[in-house]
Amino acid sequence: MCQKPATYWIEGLEKNKISCGPINRIDQVFADEQVTARGMAIEMPHPAAGNRPVKLIGSPIKLSGTPVTYRYTPPMLGQHTDAVLEELLGMSTAERDALRAKGVI
């Protein structure tokens, strides 16, 4: 597949009615005409960047009566592990600590 550009493969697949699309690099995502036209590029401060703004893809859904709001950045790895295990599975602190000790989480 590396021998030909992505457009070669996409055109060939589309000719055969096979749904497909490219896997874009981040710079390609933000340069995409649909991302630009739909106003999907957003910026939010993120702890992984020292609370500096990072570019994120916003929702493609645009509703005039109930526009999307962005309150939270994508979570850091493991940020919500304890809350999920406690709230959804009812795990105690001791049970979570035992999982951590075994390297499960």
d(CA 20, CA 9): 9
Distance CA 57, CA 40 (A): 6
pLDDT tens digits, 37-59: 999 999 999 999 999 999 999 99
CA trace torsion 79, 24, 41, 31 (10° rounding): 160
**pLDDT band of 1, cuts 50, 70, 90:** confident
Provide the pLDDT for residue 88.
96
pLDDT bucket at 33, cuts 50 / 70 / 90 = very high
What lies within 8 Å, CB to CB, of 59 at 6+ separation is: 40, 68
> Three-state SS for 31?
helix
Query: What pTM does this model have?
Result: 0.62
For the chain, the structural domain boundaries read: 24-73, 75-105
